[in-house]
């Protein structure tokens, strides 16, 4: 996987080019009930639950609480393969726990992934004319210059982030995920 350089404080476009099912040749486009979104995360902030968490919890024991930042969004993989996202309201390194705003509706087992999402999930818009075996269509959206990842102090010296693009077809329920690697780079002289 290659890593693309994004200049700090510049708008950049994230693309999902020609999403389709190669076996059935089904195009994943607006006419087929498809939606596309992306979210940015710092892969160095991927952690695991240090204990099993029951339904109705909003305090989680994590492997490295130092990876979490108050005000950012946490994303926890639940036992039913859904995701629980919520704003981080407290981090306690002494207990190894983080607190989030919303309680879980499903349990999460020891070892499940919990990570920090930088900013909100962004909806992508379809562009071009969908056609099988053509790459001049798909979905796109801006990574805007006021995005949390651009404002992160670590972007001054190079912040490695991943953009996870999720394409969901509501007709057949299929979901495709792709991860794009970026380094947001800038300096103090801007």
CATH number at residue 141: 2.60.40
Same domain? 55 vs 32? no
Of 83, 111, 139, the residue that ends a domain is 111
pLDDT recorded at residue 64: 92
Q: Are 183 and 132 part of one and the same domain?
A: yes
- With a CB cutoff of 8 Å and minimum separation 6, the contacts of 67 are 44, 45, 46, 47, 116
Is residue 154, in this structure, part of any structural domain at all?
yes
Please choose, from the candidates 134, 146, 141, the residue with its C-alpha nearest in 3D space to the C-alpha of residue 20.
134
Tokens coding 179: 């991860």
Q: Tell whether 116 is covered by a domain.
A: no
Residue 190 to residue 183: CA distance in whole angstroms: 17
Q: How would you write the pLDDT of the chain (190 residues) with one tens digit per residue? A: 456 666 655 668 888 888 888 888 888 888 888 899 999 988 888 899 999 999 999 999 999 998 898 988 999 999 999 999 999 999 999 999 999 999 999 999 999 999 999 888 899 999 999 988 888 999 999 888 777 877 777 777 778 888 889 888 877 777 888 888 888 776 544 4
Q: How far is CA 7 from CA 41, 82, 90, 119, 153, in A?
A: 17, 33, 31, 18, 14
Does 146 reside within a domain? yes
Q: Are residues 144 and 189 in the same domain?
A: yes
Same-domain pairing of 125 and 179: yes
Q: Give per-residue pLDDT as tens, 50-74.
A: 999 999 999 999 999 988 989 889 9
What confidence score (pLDDT) does residue 26 get?
Answer: 82
Does 127 lie in the same domain as 105? Answer: no
- One domain, residues 61 and 96: yes
How many structural domains does the chain have? 2
pLDDT of residue 190: 43
Residue ranges making up the domain that contains 54:
50-111
Mean pLDDT of the chain: 86
């Amino acid at each position: 996987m290659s890593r693309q350089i994004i200049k700090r404080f510049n708008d950049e476009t994230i693309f999902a080019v020609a999403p389709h099912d190669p076996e059935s040749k089904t195009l994943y486009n607006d006419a087929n009930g498809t939606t596309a979104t992306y979210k940015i995360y710092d892969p160095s902030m991927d952690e695991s639950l240090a204990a099993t968490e029951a339904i109705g919890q909003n305090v989680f024991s994590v492997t490295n609480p130092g990876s979490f930042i108050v005000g950012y969004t946490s994303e926890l993989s639940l036992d039913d393969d859904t995701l629980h996202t919520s704003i981080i309201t407290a981090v306690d390194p002494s207990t190894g726990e983080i607190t989030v705003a919303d309680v879980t509706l499903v349990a999460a087992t020891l070892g499940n992934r919990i990570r920090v999402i930088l900013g909100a999930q962004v909806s992508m818009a379809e562009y071009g004319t969908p056609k099988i075996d053509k790459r001049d269509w798909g979905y796109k959206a801006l990574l805007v210059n006021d995005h949390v990842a651009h404002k992160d102090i670590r972007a001054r010296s190079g912040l490695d982030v991943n953009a996870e693009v999720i394409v969901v077809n509501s007709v057949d329920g299929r979901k495709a995920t792709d991860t794009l690697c970026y380094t947001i780079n800038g300096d103090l002289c801007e």
